[in-house]
Protein backbone atom coordinates (compact mmCIF):
# COMPACT_ATOMS: atom_id res chain seq x y z
CA UNK A 1 0.00 0.00 0.00
CA UNK A 2 1.16 3.39 -0.87
CA UNK A 3 1.23 5.75 1.99
CA UNK A 4 -0.12 9.21 1.57
CA UNK A 5 2.09 12.09 2.36
CA UNK A 6 0.65 14.35 4.98
CA UNK A 7 0.82 18.07 4.57
CA UNK A 8 2.56 20.06 7.14
CA UNK A 9 0.28 21.96 9.52
CA UNK A 10 2.71 24.83 9.84
CA UNK A 11 1.53 27.22 7.13
CA UNK A 12 2.74 30.78 6.92
CA UNK A 13 0.07 33.35 6.12
CA UNK A 14 1.07 36.34 4.08
CA UNK A 15 -0.23 39.32 6.10
CA UNK A 16 0.72 42.09 3.64
CA UNK A 17 -2.38 41.71 1.41
CA UNK A 18 -4.60 41.51 4.50
CA UNK A 19 -3.10 44.71 5.94
CA UNK A 20 -3.51 46.46 2.57
CA UNK A 21 -7.16 45.47 2.40
CA UNK A 22 -7.86 46.59 5.97
CA UNK A 23 -6.14 49.95 5.52
CA UNK A 24 -8.14 50.69 2.36
CA UNK A 25 -11.38 49.68 4.12
CA UNK A 26 -10.57 51.95 7.07
CA UNK A 27 -9.84 54.85 4.72
CA UNK A 28 -13.15 54.24 2.95
CA UNK A 29 -14.98 54.13 6.28
CA UNK A 30 -13.43 57.41 7.43
CA UNK A 31 -14.23 59.17 4.14
CA UNK A 32 -17.86 58.08 4.08
CA UNK A 33 -18.64 58.59 7.75
CA UNK A 34 -21.16 61.28 8.64
CA UNK A 35 -19.52 63.91 10.78
CA UNK A 36 -21.92 65.92 12.88
CA UNK A 37 -22.04 67.52 16.24
CA UNK A 38 -24.45 65.97 18.70
CA UNK A 39 -26.50 68.53 20.59
CA UNK A 40 -26.95 68.29 24.29
CA UNK A 41 -30.37 68.27 25.90
CA UNK A 42 -30.56 69.64 29.44
CA UNK A 43 -32.98 67.54 31.47
CA UNK A 44 -33.93 67.86 35.12
CA UNK A 45 -35.64 65.18 37.16
CA UNK A 46 -39.16 65.74 38.33
CA UNK A 47 -39.19 66.23 42.10
CA UNK A 48 -35.43 66.59 42.17
CA UNK A 49 -33.55 69.56 43.51
CA UNK A 50 -34.41 72.69 41.59
CA UNK A 51 -31.81 75.09 40.39
CA UNK A 52 -32.07 78.82 40.77
CA UNK A 53 -31.81 79.27 37.00
CA UNK A 54 -35.12 79.94 35.32
CA UNK A 55 -35.54 78.71 31.76
CA UNK A 56 -35.59 81.58 29.28
CA UNK A 57 -39.05 82.67 28.28
CA UNK A 58 -39.82 81.84 24.72
CA UNK A 59 -41.04 84.75 22.69
CA UNK A 60 -44.32 84.15 20.97
CA UNK A 61 -43.89 83.67 17.26
CA UNK A 62 -46.51 83.95 14.56
CA UNK A 63 -47.00 81.34 11.89
CA UNK A 64 -45.32 83.12 8.99
CA UNK A 65 -45.58 81.72 5.46
CA UNK A 66 -44.37 83.05 2.13
CA UNK A 67 -45.93 81.34 -0.86
CA UNK A 68 -44.35 81.57 -4.30
CA UNK A 69 -47.17 81.19 -6.81
CA UNK A 70 -47.40 81.51 -10.54
CA UNK A 71 -48.99 84.96 -10.22
CA UNK A 72 -46.76 86.40 -7.48
CA UNK A 73 -46.02 86.17 -3.76
CA UNK A 74 -48.42 85.72 -0.86
CA UNK A 75 -47.08 86.54 2.61
CA UNK A 76 -49.34 85.47 5.48
CA UNK A 77 -48.91 85.95 9.19
CA UNK A 78 -51.23 85.09 12.04
CA UNK A 79 -53.54 88.01 11.33
CA UNK A 80 -52.54 89.71 8.08
CA UNK A 81 -51.94 88.90 4.43
CA UNK A 82 -49.79 90.73 1.88
CA UNK A 83 -49.97 90.04 -1.84
CA UNK A 84 -47.22 90.97 -4.31
CA UNK A 85 -48.38 90.46 -7.89
CA UNK A 86 -46.00 89.76 -10.75
CA UNK A 87 -45.10 92.52 -13.21
CA UNK A 88 -45.75 90.72 -16.46
CA UNK A 89 -43.55 87.63 -16.33
CA UNK A 90 -41.24 88.94 -13.58
CA UNK A 91 -41.50 88.58 -9.84
CA UNK A 92 -41.11 91.91 -8.03
CA UNK A 93 -38.38 91.62 -5.42
CA UNK A 94 -37.43 95.26 -4.92
CA UNK A 95 -38.48 97.45 -7.89
CA UNK A 96 -41.15 97.07 -10.55
CA UNK A 97 -38.76 98.36 -13.23
CA UNK A 98 -35.81 95.98 -12.85
CA UNK A 99 -34.55 92.83 -11.15
CA UNK A 100 -31.92 94.62 -9.05
CA UNK A 101 -32.15 94.04 -5.32
CA UNK A 102 -30.95 97.04 -3.33
CA UNK A 103 -28.57 96.57 -0.43
CA UNK A 104 -30.63 99.18 1.44
CA UNK A 105 -34.12 97.72 1.91
CA UNK A 106 -35.58 101.19 2.53
CA UNK A 107 -35.01 102.06 -1.15
CA UNK A 108 -37.31 99.26 -2.35
CA UNK A 109 -40.91 99.78 -3.45
CA UNK A 110 -43.69 99.17 -0.94
CA UNK A 111 -45.50 96.79 -3.31
CA UNK A 112 -42.52 94.46 -3.64
CA UNK A 113 -41.47 91.36 -1.72
CA UNK A 114 -39.01 93.36 0.37
CA UNK A 115 -41.73 95.92 1.12
CA UNK A 116 -44.09 93.18 2.30
CA UNK A 117 -41.35 91.60 4.45
CA UNK A 118 -40.62 95.02 5.99
CA UNK A 119 -44.28 95.35 6.99
CA UNK A 120 -44.35 91.86 8.48
CA UNK A 121 -41.09 92.49 10.36
CA UNK A 122 -42.53 95.70 11.84
CA UNK A 123 -45.51 93.70 13.14
CA UNK A 124 -43.40 90.86 14.57
CA UNK A 125 -39.97 92.29 15.31
CA UNK A 126 -38.88 89.30 17.41
CA UNK A 127 -39.71 86.80 14.69
CA UNK A 128 -36.71 85.17 13.03
CA UNK A 129 -38.23 82.21 11.19
CA UNK A 130 -40.27 81.95 8.02
CA UNK A 131 -41.60 79.06 5.96
CA UNK A 132 -41.36 79.38 2.19
CA UNK A 133 -43.86 77.32 0.25
CA UNK A 134 -43.28 76.82 -3.45
CA UNK A 135 -45.06 75.15 -6.33
CA UNK A 136 -43.16 72.55 -8.34
CA UNK A 137 -43.55 74.65 -11.48
CA UNK A 138 -41.63 77.64 -10.07
CA UNK A 139 -38.04 77.87 -11.39
CA UNK A 140 -35.35 77.06 -8.83
CA UNK A 141 -33.59 80.42 -9.34
CA UNK A 142 -36.73 82.19 -8.09
CA UNK A 143 -36.76 80.09 -4.92
CA UNK A 144 -33.08 80.88 -4.34
CA UNK A 145 -33.71 84.62 -4.80
CA UNK A 146 -36.58 84.51 -2.29
CA UNK A 147 -34.38 82.74 0.26
CA UNK A 148 -31.64 85.34 -0.34
CA UNK A 149 -34.12 88.18 0.22
CA UNK A 150 -35.40 86.61 3.46
CA UNK A 151 -31.83 86.23 4.74
CA UNK A 152 -30.69 89.77 3.78
CA UNK A 153 -28.32 91.56 6.16
CA UNK A 154 -27.72 95.26 6.61
CA UNK A 155 -24.31 96.94 6.44
CA UNK A 156 -23.49 95.87 10.02
CA UNK A 157 -24.29 92.23 9.14
CA UNK A 158 -27.49 92.23 11.22
CA UNK A 159 -30.37 90.26 9.69
CA UNK A 160 -33.04 92.54 8.24
CA UNK A 161 -35.83 90.01 7.95
CA UNK A 162 -35.91 86.31 8.75
CA UNK A 163 -32.60 84.41 8.87
CA UNK A 164 -34.18 81.06 9.81
CA UNK A 165 -35.74 79.83 6.57
CA UNK A 166 -37.64 76.57 6.12
CA UNK A 167 -38.79 75.40 2.69
CA UNK A 168 -41.77 73.16 2.04
CA UNK A 169 -43.95 72.10 -0.84
CA UNK A 170 -47.22 73.94 -1.30
CA UNK A 171 -50.51 72.10 -1.08
CA UNK A 172 -52.67 72.58 -4.13
CA UNK A 173 -55.90 72.20 -2.10
Model pTM score: 0.61
Q: Per-residue pLDDT tens for 108-153? A: 888 888 888 888 888 887 888 888 888 888 888 888 888 888 888 8
Outline where 14-152 has alpha helix (H). Answer: 16-32, 113-123, 140-150
Q: Per-residue pLDDT tens for 80-104? A: 888 888 888 888 888 777 777 776 7
Amino acid sequence: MASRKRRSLDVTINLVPFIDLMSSLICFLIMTAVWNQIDRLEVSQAGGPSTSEQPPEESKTLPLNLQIKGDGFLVTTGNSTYTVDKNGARYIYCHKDNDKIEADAAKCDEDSLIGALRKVKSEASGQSNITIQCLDTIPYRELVRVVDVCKMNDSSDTPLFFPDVAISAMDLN
